[in-house]
Structure 1
């Protein structure tokens, strides 16, 4: 069925349908990506030491690429390098999967080490 113009009373062709993928753009705010990264770091480090604060992240997004810096607190003694590698890996996977952004860089900054109770020197 062809639509009829109310002004002229003549029929006009129906507008071409635009495929759903081409109708617009999605922009994910930096703070949303930062929250996803912080949650992913929490998941990678679970459980956190009793007095440690939750990880937080800062993100710079540009042209579909997210550069992430995650700040964490760890229990001590621990393998700091292994924990940081696990955080980098998990943050890269989760941010990439949930936002469809490339994540070429995840910097992990250890803010504080918390002694794990019951493992002190004798």
Structure 2
């Protein structure tokens, strides 16, 4: 992808673009681990497919909808590229982090 500038051009490789998309998807607290992004980039338009893991018991459909919208907005803000299509494959669920069990030691002076 090449963005016209006033004194030159800025190019973003497909690989770098997908890494940006992965980092943006990780900004959602209900996404666990590292999402994997693949897709296509043509000029200033992209399509992205994610494999991601969701924290259980978060609503999978809601997490996917939030990630989809966030990726469209944030990637455009960061790169100037319009992400026209965001497909999401949920490939795993992990339990949400739970607080450490209380031992009673915390309350002693």
Tell me the TM-score normalized by structure 2.
0.75
Deviant stretches of 4+, over 3 Å: 20-23, 115-118
Shift of 1:63: 2.1
SS at match of 1:57: strand
SS at match of 1:81: helix
Partner of 1:58: 38
Return 5+ residue gaps in structure 2 as ranges: 99-109
Shift of 1:66: 1.1
SS at match of 1:94: helix
Considering fraction of residues, name the structure with more strand. 2
Checking the alignment, whether the CA contact within 8 Å between 1:65 and 1:103 is kept in structure 2 is yes
Partner of 1:7: none
CA change 1:47–1:117 in 2 (3 A) is closer
Structure 2 Cα separation of the partners of residues 63 and 24 of structure 1? 16
TM-superposition CA deviations, 1:77-99 (whole Å, max 9, x none): 22111000110011111111111
Compute the RMSD of aligned alpha carbons: 2.2
